[in-house]
Structures are given as C-alpha cells and as structure tokens.
Amino acid sequence: MGFDNLVGGTIWDEYSQKVQDRMNNPTHMGEITEDEAMKLGGELIVADFGAESCGDAVRLYWVVEPKTEKIIEAKFKSFGCGTAIASSDVMTELTIGKTVSEAIKITNIDVEFAMRDNPNTPAVPPQKMHCSVMAYDVIKKAAAIYKGVDIESFEEEIIVCECARVTLGTLQEVIEINDLTTIEQITDYTKAGAFCKSCIKPGGHEEKEYYLVDILRDVRAKMAEKQTKRVTDDIESGADVAFAQMTVVQKLKKVEKVLDDNIRQMLIMDGGNMEVIDIKESDGHIDIYIRYLGACSGCASSSTGTLYAIEAILKEKLDEAIRVLPI
C-alpha cells in the first residue's frame, strides 16, 4: 500500500526516507487476538479512529499489563494512504513499553518528528500532516477505552490547530504577550497554520469553530480595550500618562482642559472663542484641527500670534509633537 504507482519522482522529495520505508514495509502492521493477549499476560484493547477530512482510518491494538498498565505489545491496521500507514506504524512503535498514561502524552508532533531523516526537515508535506494527527487521536481513543473515560477528558483545552496541537488558550496568550499582529507571526511563534492551513481561515478542508484570523482580531480588540481602560484609569487617578498613548477622546479632553485653563478666557475677553474639530496623527505629528469663533474668526493674528501662542501652550503642557491647524 505505497506510492509505487506514482511517476516523475518529484513527490518523493517531500517525504523522508523513513516515511517511504514505512509506507511499503511497516514494522508493526497486523492484529492481535484475545488468545495472543492472554498468552502475553495482558488485556487486549482495540480502538478505531477515522479522519473525516480525508476518509482514512486506523485500528490500534494494545496489550496492556494490568498491574503496571504498561503496553507490552501493539499493532495496527490502517485504511488509507501511504502516509497514514507510515504515521500509524511509528505511532504504534512509540507506545510499546510505555504505560497508558505515558502514551497519552505522545503527540502528532512526536510522531512526525520520529519520521524525519534529520531534525530540521519535515517528514511529510503540510497537507499530509493530518495523518499524524489521526495517529495521535487513536492513542487517546485506546487510552479512553482502557481507562473507561470519555476521549474528550484528555483534552483540557480547545485545540485550534490540530496539526500542531495548539490550543486556543496558547494562541491568545502568545498573541497578547508578544504583541503579534499577523498570521505569519502566529505561525512563527506557535507553528499553528504551518501545515494543512485549514485553521487559518474558513474555506479549508474541514469547518472549524475557531480560526486564527478571528482569534487574532478578537485578541487585538481586547488588547485595545485593556489599553484604553488602563489609560482612562491612570487619568482618573491622576497618574502621569503620555499624551500620545491616549485615545482620541482622552486627548480631546486634555486639550480642552489646557485651552480652558490657559487660552480660552483671553479669547472670550476679546469677543472670540475657538473649538477643537479633530485630532489626528500624521508623520510623527499630532495634528489638532481648530476653528475660530466670533471675533477670532476674522482677526489677523488668528493665523500668526494667537495661533503660535495656542500651539506653544499645547506643546508645553501636552506633547512636543503637536501641531495646531486652523480650518
């Protein structure tokens, strides 16, 4: 059950030699009967698991020694592609000699890594990574049968990227801690989305509850909310918060206060006033757009002395990057 019928040779470049060898000559393929398990002094566990995305399936046989819970023999049957056979063969081998509890800790990443010819070159192309995921899942199924629990009890968190076994909590934490802004950064930090890519956005080979694009958007939104709240709390508590870190609304309040305390009364005394129209950031500047009212709107100094005075006060009190622009 290999890829002997493929021609051209280029496809083999994406598969390690170990994978190719196991495709055609698996070491642990077969089945174990109840009589064989009894002769070995163990309990027979048979678990089936299928991958809906590709139609592959695997059956895992364990002989578990009751006193130690050690897996003393293991075999498998695989119904699917050559990569599924290779992954299942390596997965089966990795469980032999381990206790059931130790076997549960074997991940699909461990399976894939064990199939590599060298540590730095993936054993299979990204679209075939799901085969090692299936191997990981059948281990959980066998352990659940042995322990008499539900398979979901082995998952403490929601898995977003099945290929790299990256959880929702891990993704949220990594994005926030490292201030990540792109999917590429998330992949670099966690390997999520590096393989079959179906977890990145809708439209992959299977529908998911969580996608990286949505997680990134939601975490960034929460980060912005937290930052706004921190700044607001600091302002209300009297703490010294940099003007540039404030939201537009917070900046507007600070500008209005400075104008009320230092500028507005002088304008009113001369029959004028002013209002702040907008605040924008541009090329390293904080541009404050104002409109003169009353007598100030026609005053000659509104574009010279008065304007310079307003800008100088705001720069001194708030930020040197401020520019005041009348409209």
Residues with a known catalytic role = 54, 131
Residue pair 111/6 in contact by the 8 Å Cβ criterion: no
Sheet hosting strand 57-65, strand order edge to edge: 43-50, 57-65, 70-79
- Cα distance between residue 317 and residue 324, in whole Å: 14
Nearest CA to 18 out of 114, 87, 115 is that of: 115
Sheet hosting strand 285-294, strand order edge to edge: 272-282, 285-294, 322-326
Using DSSP, state whether 253 is helix, strand or coil: helix
Number of H helices, E strands in the chain: 12, 8
Side chain identity at residue 296, one-letter code: C
- Cα distance between residue 326 and residue 297, in whole Å: 10
DSSP string, 202-221: SSSSS--S--HHHHHHHHHH
- The two three-digit tokens of residue 105, written as one number: 């800790």
Using DSSP, state whether 60 is helix, strand or coil: strand
Residue pair 317/262 in contact by the 8 Å Cβ criterion: yes
CB atoms within 10 A of CB 116: 16
Residue pair 200/211 in contact by the 8 Å Cβ criterion: yes
- The two three-digit tokens of residue 251, written as one number: 């900046």
